Amino acid sequence: MPLVACITAVAPLRSEPSHSSEMVSQLLLGELATIIDEVKGFLKVQCQADGYEGWCQANQVMLVSPLVANEYVQNPPKYCADTVGVLKNKDGLTQISIGTPLLLKKPKLAKLGKLQWQLKKVQTIAAGSEAFTQVNIEKVVGQLLNTPYLWGGRSAFGIDCSGLTQLVLKLFGYQLPRDAKQQVNHGEVIGFLQEVKCGDLAFFDDAEGNIIHVGLLLNHDTIVHAYDKVRIDRIDTEGIINTSTKLRTHRLRVIKRIIP
């Protein structure tokens, strides 16, 4: 099936081929996707990184050859390590989010097919090159604090709960699926809060037992999650307690260790 690459900083993936339909996820600049269907002005695609499907504007992606796709395998892209990086090409400046993949041809030059950008203000990192330690985790989390909550978002411009956990773990070399209800199927169950390590994930359910929320534990009683924004709250055996309102907001279901 034909492959496309995202050519804008962030491209919405929608549930239907309409600008007014729900945004279910996003593609970041340089991410590859497979075309599934086409309706005038929109393409239904499956993101190669996490398998998620949605409709994107056809003019926010471009067709790429198998040779370009092979480059991603032979020469894995580096990720933007800045909260917001800046690229430059003939069209001007483009702001990109942390976690944006960049195929580097030179230390300060990224290419995608016939397109290329100068890295004007971008630090890059190879996936998994930094150890999954508390210091490094807290550094990444600190870059994303106060990012506004955005349903379907997975960037520093707006992010949802599972987009946050997916982004953080991606930088450390682990690709999670897109939704919390999918992410909960990964990793090892941790039985007690007292046994958690920084970087473990906590999942939360509704009255029917459906997984509806996820956050990243910093220690046994502190969690970072995307709610109204990316924020740090308290957690106990029952769930999350909002530090601003002192109210309980989410009911704890299970804790999972994704990266040992």
Q: Which residues carry out catalysis?
A: 161, 213, 225
Expressed in angstroms, the distance from the first to the final Cα of the chain is 36
Over the range 193-218, which residues count as b (16 or more CB within 10 Å of their CB) and which as e?
Answer: beebbbbbbbbbbeeeeebbbbbbbb
Decide: residue 254, CB within 10 A, 0-12 exposed, 13-18 middle, 19+ buried: middle
CA 57 to chain centroid? 20
